[in-house]
Amino acid sequence: MKHLLIIILMCTVNKAFTQNPFAKLPKVELHLHLDCSLSYECVKQLKPTITEEEYNESFIAPPKCTDLADYITRAIKGFELMQTKEQLRIVTLDLFKQLKEDNVVYAEIRFAPLQHTMKGLMPTEIVATVNDATEEGIKKYGIEAGIILCTLRHYSEAQSMETAELVKKFKGTHVVGFDIAADEAGFPINNHIKAFEFANQHKIPCTAHAGEAKGAESVWETLKFFKPKRIGHGVRSAEDINLLNYLRKNEIHLEICPTSNVQTNVVDKIENHPIEKIYNHGVSMSVNTDARTISNVTLSSEYQLLNQKFKWDVAHFKKCNLAAVKHSFCSEAVKKKISLLINSSY
């Protein structure tokens, strides 16, 4: 009987691995929103009255949203539950648990600290709390991680500057970079030029959402005025061959999130996603989830999707992960450690 149970257990494990052969591979994730990645267990802890049906309705987006603005309305319920130090700690550690289960070995977690002041927390307290929780998560789960602070498209110039200054203030902690996110199509870049100039003057690594809700012209504009080392999404760069050439020549890294791009209506269906064109053009890129809860995905499931739709194999994912490590905002020592791990595992 004992041997039979062992055989059944082995078959179950093997079946799970067969269903997703990429589950056990170590992975790197550069584009991951903290407030968009609350598991049901986490939300239940923060709001005990919520049902699974309510969670699915409020926190997870449908397979096809109207646009990006529609998609990110699901983030509201997330940051509403992240207004105290303990809530911030619980959400951060919950994400680390998810990353461990997905075999992510390095992650850059981004969030907009000014969204978490509803109950009186000061921005410095918010960043310090998430930084401390990140340290706790690193020790508990053995995952290397950094934090990227986001300004948002609809923010004022003063709010953007405040966010950039927070990155400078927390230099030497797990805070490693600056980003701009939210409704790219609805708001111009004007309010944020000063903040990115500040970041670049102080050698703060920058990434910026662009080429998602707007076309290639948005990427050109972002590169000109913000001068980021990476572009969040950037998938619509594929509409301009000159832009693809520029990205490749200048080693600008694209943080691509396939399922999210379908949900936000950037592409009509995954089969028409430009990821293959971008990859084959030699542009540095990585595969990311964007919002694990809103898109209801893991990196393992994204890898499997690309395998099914584009026949991507381990070689593709190894190249993407090594590119992600190279363009990450972590220390050279961590880059070396994670690169060695990727090279020895693929």
Domains in the chain: boundaries:
41-345
Give the pLDDT of residue 319.
98
Query: What is the reported pLDDT for 19?
Result: 80
Would you say residue 18 has pLDDT above 80? Answer: no
Q: Phi and psi dihedrals of 26, rounded to 5?
A: -65, 140
Contacts of 149 (CB under 8 A, 6+ apart): 110, 111, 112, 113, 127, 163, 164, 166, 167, 175, 177, 178, 179
43-52 long-range contacts, Cβ below 8 Å, gap at least 24? 43/81, 45/90, 46/81, 46/87, 46/90, 46/91, 47/81
CA dist 229 and 224 (Å) reads 12
Which pair of tokens denotes residue 316? 């593709």
Percent of the residues in the chain that have a pLDDT greater than 70, as a whole number:
95
Exposed, middle or buried by CB within 10 Å (0-12, 13-18, 19+), for 319?
middle
Model pLDDT, residue 48:
98
Whether residue 36 contacts residue 61, with contact meaning beta carbons closer than 8 Å, is answered with: no
Question: Does residue 14 surpass a pLDDT of 90?
Answer: no
What percentage of the chain reaches a pLDDT higher than 90? 93
What is the tens place of the pLDDT at every residue in 238-268? 999 999 999 999 999 999 999 999 999 999 9
Task: Specify the pTM.
Answer: 0.94
Least confident of 17-21, 211-215, 339-343: 17-21
Residue of 29, 108, 144, 212 marked active site: 212
Average pLDDT over residues 122-126: 98
Tens digits of residue pLDDT in 61-102: 999 999 998 999 999 999 999 999 999 999 999 999 999 999
Q: Is 342 exposed, middle or buried (0-12, 13-18, 19+ CB in 10 A)?
A: buried
pLDDT at 12 over 90: no
Q: Please give the helix or strand (H or E) that residue 297 lies within, else none.
A: none
Show the tokens assigned to 304.
């499997």
Q: Which of 80, 61, 22, 109 is nearest to 306 (CA)?
A: 22
Quote the pLDDT of residue 17: 39
State yes or no: pLDDT of 6 exceeds 50: no
Task: Show the tokens assigned to 149.
Answer: 């602070």
Active site residue 212: yes
Tokens (6 digits) for 47: 């709001």
Q: Give the CATH H-level superfamily of domain 41-345.
A: Metal-dependent hydrolases (3.20.20.140)
The pLDDT tens digits for 281-320 are 999 999 999 999 999 999 999 999 999 999 999 999 999 9
Residue 61 C-alpha from the chain's centroid: 16
Q: Return the pLDDT at 130.
A: 99
- What's the mean pLDDT when you consider all of the chain? 94
